[in-house]
Structure 1
Amino acid sequence: MVIKGIATLSGATALSLLAMAAANAGGFSRGTADTDILFEQGNFNARTSVTVVSPERKIVSGPSNVGHDYADSYVMPSLAAKFRISDNLSCAGTVANSFGAASSFDAPRAQAAAFPYTMYGKLDETFTVMEYAATCAVGFDLDKGRLSVIAGAYVDDFDYDLSVVIPGTGGAPTRLPVELGGTAWGWRGGLAYEIPDIALRAQVLYRSGTKIEATGTAAGGLGYAEGEGKLPQSVEAKFQTGIAPGWLAYGSVKWTDWSVNKTLDLTTNLGFSSQNRYYWRDGWTIMGGIGHSFNDQISGTAFLMWDRGTSTGWDLHGDVVTLGAGLIMKDGFGELRLGGGVSRVGSVKEDKYGDGSSNYNYAVGSGWSVSGLAGYSLKW
């Protein structure tokens, strides 16, 4: 049986996943490599997009910055290009902002001197991980459908910026900037099964974790700084199928090994050290959606996503529920993609930093995050 009218839905799942990933899902997760492009028809395909995210995380209690929204907006680029080398082999190069975080404070974020490495007031902190990857799929025709083996390698490029206030001479505080950079290699692999006539595709994809060992400068180059931390491995299972003429259903389940993220350690030769404490639990993300082809030029999609918060009392990452939608519009050259999402981010509080008169725990209330995506794709 062939389900007709779903050709214009090609890539609808990829669009929804990009919008979903933009909405603060899963610890430091941001975007994912667009490896779905490996399954697009054509000898050459290219997709690019930009997603803008505006989160809200307002401090409702704590030793400083009460009432302040510390979460900064950010922009996520994504680029993918696929080459069909033979009937059974396709390879793609991808660029994605895989992980990141950005925060800033009106006043130095008060910390507890009783906890090692955290006695310095944080003013702003940003880190970004860009993934540059090459991935290939080798296909094998079966009696019914097609099986593909997916394998590839990537490099994570890590950039970190921190600005803190440290005790100075005569009681005057001193602003100290720190800049770090580093790279780490990883790999991904998986399997996919397709029945193109009904737009069915089932896929399992593994991404390895990495350990970041970064070096840089402190105090505008006057000092030396180094830091280290771990980024998680993950396994994602995705499924899509045509369910009626012009209709597509899809969903995914993703496990992320965020429990490896215990601390981010920073040291300098200026007598200043810092340690962010996380001690997260593993993350789970579940998403489902529907796509519909309105005609040969326009199709749309809507999805719902839930992500389990990773916090265990050491920091402030709660549950996220996201509702998103997107449009795919064909023109004479390619496809224009527009999408957006609205997320409800749950409240969460710390409970590991003392109590009573020595309470340095923070809490944030529930808030909203909005995201918008614009992209374009070509094939020939």
Structure 2
Amino acid sequence: MKTILTTAAALATAATAAHAGGVERSSQSVAILFEEGRYAELSFGHFDPTVSGSVGPGGVATSGDMSSSYNSWSLGYKMDIGEKMDFALVLDQPIGANVAYPTGGLYPLQGSTAKLSSSAITALLRYKFENNVSVYGGLRYQTVHGEVSLPTVGAYSLDTNYDSELGYVVGIAWEKPEIAARVALTYNSAITHTLDATEGGPFGGQSTFETEVPQSVNLEFQTGIAKDTLLFGSIRWQEWSEFVIDPVGYFPTTPLVSYASDRITYNLGVGRRFNENWSGAVTVGYEKSDGEITGNLGPTDGFTSVGLAATYTMDNMKITGGIRYVDIGDATTTIGANFEGNSGVGVGIRVGYTF
């Protein structure tokens, strides 16, 4: 059972690249804190979405596929500090975006591009009490950078510096090892970035503005439901209504990027060990569409997903591969464009080693 709870549950929703509310790329799981002994893992993911829409009478102006594929990675290390404490260090990419509208058509935003990149390093400490309860917390150091080019919107452009700021993580967990049960509740603080920017267009120049990567709450859970079978899942809330990118020189009345409401993302899965070497998992994910008008740089609204993962364990090493299909929710943008029938496929691999 321990093989399942440290492999299938961990990767099926994490190693395949995320496609969730806002510009989320990482679920910020704390599962690594519960690995046994000294442990290290490396994950790679690739997500290939197809997102297109149309505007005008009869949808005469089509956007083409405006959402580029992207790669993601994470690196984690965990060690014991005596009998009561654990330490973990995680490197990942919490948020990101990669938008490129094709040129050569009638679509109003043809040729527009946007890139948002980030990296974060999170250090966590966990203290275990005698009653199977533990508390944990730590600091997250996060760096973000953005670039935008909107040739058909007054030739507007934006290029920011790489800004780094500090946030924090706190949480509490309960475990019952006899049935492989665990519940972990984690709070991730908001991190406000002050970005120095070079803007082009009618009101271009040097400017400074703030953007908040919003706070979130994660509930992760798992329990054995039969011999060699594990039920696991997560519920994640993030305050995306506080995420606004509104540079000084951007002249339209609406912000460059904003979200009308917060998001709750659900994941549920079942993992099973087949023999001493092989285990697998199936997962489903869901994020409700809110029906609000979306920005043109993120014309999606919710999703439904299904994923498969398989783990091969050999001595102290475990290798997990996964695939995830995402049905991306329909959306209507601020220019009245309708984006419908979109989807994406993510694949991932994770290598973990206990030593």
The structure that has the greater radius of gyration is 1
Paired residue for 2:35, among 29, 40, 65? 40
Note the 1:5-16 alignment, pairs <5 A.
Answer: 5-16=1-12
Paired residue for 1:56, among 27, 50, 53? 50
Alpha-carbon spacing, 1:310–1:257, altered in 2? closer, same or farther (3 Å): farther
Q: Which moved more, 1:207-216 or 1:289-298?
A: 207-216
Shift of 1:253: 1.4
Q: Does 1:85 align with 2:81?
A: yes
Shift of 1:286: 1.3
Shift of 1:64: 9.1
Q: Does 1:141 align with 2:130?
A: yes
Paired residue for 2:69, among 51, 69, 73? 73
Q: Does 1:162 align with 2:148?
A: yes
Structure-2 separation of matches of 1:369 and 1:67? 17
Q: Which runs of 4+ in 1 moved over 6 A?
A: none
Alignment-mate amino acid for residue 220 of structure 2? K
Structure-2 separation of matches of 1:303 and 1:8? 14
Structure-2 separation of matches of 1:264 and 1:244? 48
TM-score, normalised via structure 1 length: 0.83
Cα deviation 1:60-97 (Å, max 9, x = unaligned) = 22599614110011111111101111111001110111
Cα deviation 1:20-40 (Å, max 9, x = unaligned) = 6x2411121111334211111
The residue aligned with 1:280 is 260
TM-score, normalised via structure 2 length: 0.89
Task: Indicate the SS of the match to 1:33.
Answer: coil
Paired residue for 1:368, among 329, 335, 343? 343
Alpha-carbon spacing, 1:66–1:102, altered in 2? closer, same or farther (3 Å): same
Number of residue pairs aligned between Structure 1 and Structure 2: 343
Return 5+ residue gaps in structure 1 as ranges: 112-120, 168-172, 354-359
Paired residue for 1:126, among 101, 115, 122? 115
Query: Contact 1:33–1:95 (CA<8 Å) still a contact in 2?
Result: no
Query: Contact 1:88–1:140 (CA<8 Å) still a contact in 2?
Result: yes
Alpha-carbon spacing, 1:27–1:106, altered in 2? closer, same or farther (3 Å): same
Query: Contact 2:146–2:158 (CA<8 Å) still a contact in 1?
Result: no
Query: Contact 1:65–1:109 (CA<8 Å) still a contact in 2?
Result: yes
Query: Contact 1:202–1:240 (CA<8 Å) still a contact in 2?
Result: yes
Query: Contact 2:133–2:175 (CA<8 Å) still a contact in 1?
Result: yes
Shift of 1:194: 0.7
The residue aligned with 2:293 is 313
The residue aligned with 2:22 is 27
Structure-1 separation of matches of 2:155 and 2:197? 19
Structure-2 separation of matches of 1:258 and 1:174? 28
Structure-1 separation of matches of 2:277 and 2:5? 10
Note the 1:215-364 alignment, pairs <5 A.
Answer: 215-217=196-198, 224-261=206-243, 263-267=244-248, 275-309=255-289, 312-315=292-295, 316-350=299-333, 353=334, 360-364=335-339
Q: Which moved more, 1:279-288 or 1:146-155?
A: 279-288
Q: Does 1:152 align with 2:138?
A: yes
Q: Which moved more, 1:60-69 or 1:207-216?
A: 60-69
Q: Percent same amino acid among aligned pairs?
A: 23
Task: Indicate the SS of the match to 2:142.
Answer: strand
Query: Contact 1:58–1:364 (CA<8 Å) still a contact in 2?
Result: yes
Alpha-carbon spacing, 1:198–1:103, altered in 2? closer, same or farther (3 Å): same
Cα deviation 1:156-193 (Å, max 9, x = unaligned) = 210111223278xxxxx868562432122111111100
Shift of 1:247: 0.5
Alignment-mate amino acid for residue 149 of structure 1? V
The residue aligned with 1:118 is none
Paired residue for 2:108, among 107, 110, 120? 110
Cα deviation 1:281-324 (Å, max 9, x = unaligned) = 01011111100001111110111010123562142231200100
Alpha-carbon spacing, 1:67–1:200, altered in 2? closer, same or farther (3 Å): same
